[in-house]
Amino acid sequence: MTPSEKLLEYLNNGSKGHLDLHGADLKAISVDLRSAKLIGANLSGADLSGLYLRYADLRFANLRDANLSGADLLGANLSDADLSNANLSNADLSESTLKNAKFVNSNLTKANLKRAFMPKAILRNANLSEADLEGAYLKDADLSETELTGTNLSGIKLFEVIFTGANYNNAILKGAKFLGVNDFMFSLNLKIEKRMPDSTPVSVFKPADWPFLKNRKN
């Protein structure tokens, strides 16, 4: 049975059981994966580049070392998924749910993460160069050692995010707001004011200030 047939059978059976397609080449499959239920699927090392996965349910999925470059994951649910070492360059993750998701050492260059919901996401040593995180929500997230060169962080709102060792050279931080300003944030604020004097200063905010949170769970 080919990977495509195996996937189609799994979906036709109501996504019951465990789907194991590790290392499979799925980039050319003809199966419609919009809103597909792939909870807990093993897709480690699989080639999912360019696939249309809008609103797919990929909670708890194993996507380690997977190739998701250019994939359309708008509105997808990847909570608790492991995407460590995955290639998500140029992927569309806008409005996706990424609670507790792991992106350790992942490639997210030029990825679209606009309005993504990312509480407790782990992005240690991930490459987010030139990615777009405008309006994203991060609470207790780990961005230590993360590459944020040229990343769009405008309008982003963060609660107690770890930025230790992160490189935010030339990042766009206009209107960025933080809750719980510490010494690092104070330093960050000074650098913003020095580099972009016309930008909105980093500031503290309350959850009620952000209407987008009304329909999302922490």
Average pLDDT over residues 84-99: 98
Q: Are strands 177-179 and 157-159 parallel, antiparallel or unpaired?
A: parallel
AA identity, residue 199: S
Helix (H, G, I), strand (E, B) or coil at 9: helix
At 17 the pLDDT is: 87
Residue 41, token pair as written in the block: 């699927």
Q: What is the pLDDT of residues 10-28, one digit of tens each?
A: 998 988 889 999 999 998 8
User: Average per-residue pLDDT in the chain?
Assistant: 83
Print the domain residue range for 180. Answer: 1-218
Lowest mean pLDDT among 25-34, 49-58, 88-97, 180-189: 180-189
Residue 209, token pair as written in the block: 């200030």
Global pTM reads 0.82
Residue 200 pLDDT greater than 90, yes or no: no
CATH code: domain of residue 6: 2.160.20.80
DSSP string, 154-166: TT-EEES-B-TT-
The overall longest dimension of the chain from CA atoms, in Å, is 60
Element (H, E) at 7: helix 3-12
Domain count along the chain: 1
